[in-house]
Chain A
Amino acid sequence: MNYPYPVMYKNVYKYDDMKRAEHMAVRTTVGWYLWTHQLVEVTGPDCAAFLEYIFPKNIGNLAPGRERYTTMLDDRGEIIDDVVVFRMKEKKFWISTLFRMDMFRWFEAHKGSFDVSWTDITPQWEMYAVQGPKSLDMINAMIKNPVDNMKFFEIRANEIDGVSVYINRAGYTGEKLGFEIYFPKTEAPAMEEKLRELAKTFDGREVTEFQVMAWTLPCEAGFFYMRDLRHTNPFEVGLEGGINWEKDFIGKEALLKVREEGPAREVVGFTVADADIHIKGRNMGNEGEFVYKDGEYVGRCMKICYSFVKDTNNGTIICRKDSLKPGDKVTMHGHEAVICAPKFI
């Protein structure tokens, strides 16, 4: 091998104490971090009807203060975004996305005669995630009105040191207890200082590593990152639940065909016992490592990261439907992987 150093592929997660500590703080105490997404405000007399048409899940039946996770599909039924839609008021919705420019183009293309408008309110709002078993206590220690009785996917106005904020019970970590604080961007330095100090009293810490907040924590919980979903349809990735087939929505026709014929692919989970590996996952932006079972090509590696709870390499594969089942052994770039459900905790 023409390389000046010993090739070790030393695991970038397993031996990294910082990543481990940040990840495990969320699982055992509390972790807080900047988690601002792009925020789109949708208003107008037809805003609910418009969003009903844009998204396959029900939007119009959301009560103010409640929210829903949904995909956004193109005409072929492929997922082009996955978002959380909040109903802030009867005629005011917020959409949390990471691809607002694409969303604006899509909205514009489908506005038709709907009396609706949308605005990018990202510059006004910062958002911190506070996640983990002690997150409720930490949030309650900050805010004016305790949030003990909040339901999952509920957002409520509150106050922190006289500043109006929204507390949202939600998260991207799979923790039973997790909150998000929306507050004016101008308050970010003070808010961050407060979170930093308060976390110490709960034995918590700040999550600073992108890989932990976007990959290791969500992957353990079976959550997708939009890159994982690109060029898939909801049936292939298990997100077909909750679709309202009674209404008209973009992509419905194509998706009905998939429902009738059955999806061609599905997502499975895997673990790799080898500690130090070189496996390409699409989460880095590439074709994804080819997956072979008994020498036959069955799919691609969708995501490769690490479960600090299980202490093993983990990830997801998108494969031919019914080609892999839990317990199967496959190879990826020479490494053996064992198939499991795409949820690890």
Chain B
Amino acid sequence: MSKKIDPRIPKEVGSGLYPVKSPWDKMISYHDAAHYVQRYTNVVSAAIMQAFRMLVPDYVERSKAMCTNAYNRLSYVYQMIPGYPEMNADELHMHPFMRGNFVGGLIGDAGDEDLLMCGRVNDFGTYRAEKELDICYWDLVGSELCRSTTQSLQACADHAAKLRPEGPHIEYHMVEARGCGDRHCRIVAECRKKFPMPPHEQWECFGPVATENQIKFTKEEDCIDESMMFREETDYLFSNGTNMEKDWRSAYPMVTRSYGATYILPTLDDLIREGRLTDEQVDYAIHCLCEAAGKATFIDDFAKEGLRVWLGAPHEISKDDGRLMGGYLEMFLQSLHAAYEIEAFNGEECIYAIDRAALANNMPKMVDAYLWFWYGMTKSLVNAQWSLWEEDSPEGKLRIKIAKKVDKFC
């Protein structure tokens, strides 16, 4: 094989430059890239969730494990990163007179915005807060994830409160979840002293709340599909109730760092550490599920045609050309802000060396998930003669090759 790079525009894409461009000069905007990367990472996350479900068949057990991990993981961030709580309080304009953990509502609101989970705050007070989301890219992963996100917010709120004068404690509770088929995601936080409810476990902060008659349900026709930073009527600025403002630049890097797998993989690590699962079991399940999910992506000819439009791929690139897969990967890698180098890009092979840390996002198994996902995808997008595999990766890189390969045990 020649390792040559065919003429392509622009040759230098992949150096982390903005905006996102395909090898055939098809450009997508910052806005579209942010949406794309959230959707993409959560599709991979949905496959990883299925692996988790195979490994731990019991819903309650899974939910408990994820909720525990989510609370502890966010607690760790607040406890271990020097200055983080203070910076967070300043940035979000938590006022010195705000007592207790209702300030967590400010954290959740701003975080939702960055993750393109648009909606509205319906109530924000010391004893009750309500936030309603119309869009959530995490909604296809699974309801266990919905439960655990509530607990990560609870952890943020509880730790933010430690900087503040003592005050009422509110419990963050997910009433509706798009991941369950509801119209919205709805978090209602209530102080149990003021709004009592029967005792329940952490994973059960889900479903009806004490103040359900105060809920402000926004009808379908009034729902939105963009964050404030991308909407004209908000002057393309996110604002919260305490006068914090930020523009579209805040979407990155958050959209690349937070998605369903950032809740699932650390939970699987917990279970491995506790001896309830082994590394091999987890790796095998991720391999199987992600490969299958990848294969399912391009089973239809119209999906391949759609991809060609997305990439601006010319007709001289045949339907059985590995460069289609390469171009597809480049669009994702740029949207993820994962730097890569192109070693080969021609009709016989494509070779990329990708920044492994950017792919991993502190989760080594995420790299494996992508690898198997892309492997499966190559089989259906190009054809079964073609494969995608890791080969001779230098330190800190994932070096992948897309080419024809015979494997009698694949």
Contact = CB atoms under 8 A, between A and B. Distances in A.
Given A284-B121, A284-B122, A287-B234, A10 B96 contact: no
B396 interface: no
B243 A35 contact: no
B249 interface: no
A35 B93 CA distance: 15
- Do most interface residues of chain B lie in helix, strand or loop, or is the interface mixed? loop
A244 interface: no
Contacts of A118: none
Contact of B240 (A1, A4, A98, A285): A285
B241 A284 contact: yes
A38 B228 contact: no
Given A101-B90, A226-B243, A286-B234, A8 B121 contact: no
Contacts of A1: 217, 219
B219 A230 contact: no
A332 to B, nearest CB: 12
B92 to A, nearest CB: 11
A5 B212 contact: yes
B392 interface: no
A287 B95 contact: no
A12 B239 contact: no
A208 B243 contact: no
B125 interface: yes
A34 B208 CA distance: 33
Given A211-B125, A227-B242, A286 B90 contact: no
B123 A227 contact: no
B123 A12 contact: yes
A98 B95 contact: yes
A13 to B, nearest CB: 9
A99 B238 CA distance: 17
How many chain B residues sit at the interface, stated as a range, is 35 or more
Given A3-B183, A3-B217, A122-B96, A208 B168 contact: yes
Contacts of A280: 120
Contacts of A230: 239, 243, 245
Contacts of A209: 125-127
Nearest to B121: A284
Given A209-B126, A227-B243, A286 B121 contact: yes
B102 interface: yes
Contacts of A283: 241
Contacts of A5: 208, 212-213, 215
Contacts of A282: 239
20 contacts: A2-B183, A3-B183, A4-B176, A5-B208, A8-B215, A11-B214, A12-B214, A36-B97, A36-B165, A127-B97, A210-B124, A227-B239, A227-B242, A284-B123, A284-B124, A284-B241, A285-B121, A285-B242, A287-B234, A333-B222
- Top 10 A-B pairs ranked by shortest CB distance? A285-B240, A36-B96, A8-B213, A10-B213, A284-B121, A211-B125, A285-B241, A227-B243, A287-B233, A278-B216
Given A33-B97, A227-B239, A285-B239, 5 more contacts: A7-B215, A37-B95, A230-B245, A284-B122, A285-B121
